[in-house]
Structure 1
Amino acid sequence: MIKVYGTNTVYEAILNNRVSQIYLLKGYNDKKTLDLIEKYHIRTSFLDRKSLDNLTNNSNHQGIVAVAKEINPVDLNSLIKKLDSVQFPTILILDGLKDPHNLGAIIRSADLFNASGIIYKKRDSVSINETVEKVSTGAINYVPLCEVNNLTKAIEELKKHDYWVIGFEGEAKDTIETIPLDRKLVIVIGSEGEGISRLVKEHCDFLLKIPMAGHGHINSLNASNAAAIVLYEIFKKR
């Protein structure tokens, strides 16, 4: 079980039948959420602000905390099979991402811009936690997440199913405008600071960059911003 908090995050968790217990701030009055809690007959307790702050390590809980079932990642074969009926799916691969805020924001963008799934390593990268849940604002319930032991082997398997793998890095020659849209895509986003690892980069079919102006030594985007721009560009043109 995991604690999720914030009105939108809890609301979506309830809709997806994940919540077993709700803790509300005395005086909480979001009618839409209260009606949903009543509809699903969820056990509810009222607490003071200090108690809710303690439950969430002083995070911005907006007066509502829930105990919920954790999200279960799918395996790679299941994800590929699920997308067989999608004409041109777009899968994100996150290579070594460490920041839970970035992962949560990427999941939110993936849902908004119709990405088909997110793949990341089980080890040496961020895992799903309360911060990821909160930052995704409920989108985590709708974007398939896939944990793998080895990203290069995952890429090799995806290529067997006709996916084209595109890595994004600042030193690439070609820009995002040349991204092919009439095929299955895997978009690789590197880690904060280090970018895409050498082996993963070698397994990409080609590399692209997001054109930027930049001043001084500012020459790269936050990983979640880069992912949002790429996904929006694909979504807009398709």
Structure 2
Amino acid sequence: MLLYGRNPVLEALRDGRVTEVLVARGVEDAFVRELKATDVRVRFAPRIELDQLAGTTAHQGVIAEVEDLEWATVDDILDRAESRGEDLLVVLLDGITDPRNFGAIIRSAEVLGAHGVIVEERRSAPLSPVVAKTAAGATSYLPVAQTKNLPRLIDQLKTDGVWVYGAAGEAARDLRELDYRGKLALVIGAEGEGLRRLVREKCDELVSIPVRGRVQSLNASVAASILLYQALAGREPGGRGK
């Protein structure tokens, strides 16, 4: 798989998944020295060659040949929380098919302390170079798993004591009113469509983000980031709890 962008490539190098790096001629020496310090093979080429390989000019002058990104398992995510002695915090995605939204959510989830992201197998963008580029290296650190049936997974999580909040713009419950302690799953739906009916019905509560402007909805990745930050704040000592 070809991976492009400086942060994703550097993280893949640290993770040992890179076999070769292609660098555009003219890229500054400091970055090239950082690449060469990893002992990976570095090859130089005209920038137009990188444009053609990446299918975009947004590669920041570097493309790497890497092992394909691998899906984790749901158990990997559950074990991650348990091994750290932490209450589970997981993000469930219902129909996020835009790779940039997907990557941005993975990035926010990693930065804000979630234990993983889970998507439904047939209703998600694949783990692609665009996802990895947007995630800015977070795919090297955060497990991302698939499930065949998201509503069924929600039932399984609830049986294990996980409380499930679904984001819905029309929900009466303000996200600032919630208790974020304990095992928690946050469900984010597709832009425009929102959560599917069955997914909505499986959630313990539907929550909304208060808005003040004329535009009454947020990008899915922005909504996920806000909800994750609120969950992080609510789980800190002195955070909101019941």
TM-score (norm 2): 0.92
Q: 1:70 — aligned with what?
A: 68
Structural mapping, 1:28-177, within 5 Å: 28-29=27-28, 31=30, 33-85=31-83, 86-177=85-176
> Any gaps of 5 or more consecutive residues in structure 2?
237-242
C-alpha displacement of 1:126: 1.0
User: Could you say what secondary structure the match of 1:84 adopts?
Assistant: helix
Amino acid at match of 2:47: R
Q: 1:77 to 1:111 in 2, by over 3 A?
A: closer
Amino acid at match of 2:225: A
Q: 1:223 — aligned with what?
A: 220
Aligned positions, number: 234
C-alpha displacement of 1:42: 1.1
Identity %: 36
The answer to whether the Cα contact below 8 Å between 1:83 and 1:116 also exists between their aligned partners in 2 is yes
Cα displacement string for residues 41-88 of structure 1 (whole angstroms, at most 9, x for unaligned residues) = 211211001101001112311111001112211111232223224322
Q: Which shows bigger deviation, 37-46 or 117-126?
A: 37-46
Q: Distance in 2 between matches of 1:164 and 1:35?
A: 48
Q: Which shows bigger deviation, 7-16 or 33-42?
A: 33-42
Amino acid at match of 1:7: R
The answer to whether the Cα contact below 8 Å between 1:172 and 1:209 also exists between their aligned partners in 2 is yes
Runs of 4+ in 1 over 4 A off after TM superposition: none
Amino acid at match of 1:124: R
The answer to whether the Cα contact below 8 Å between 1:98 and 1:192 also exists between their aligned partners in 2 is no
C-alpha displacement of 1:150: 0.5
C-alpha displacement of 1:156: 1.5
Q: Distance in 2 between matches of 1:17 and 1:30?
A: 22
Please, what is the CA RMSD of the aligned residues?
Answer: 1.4
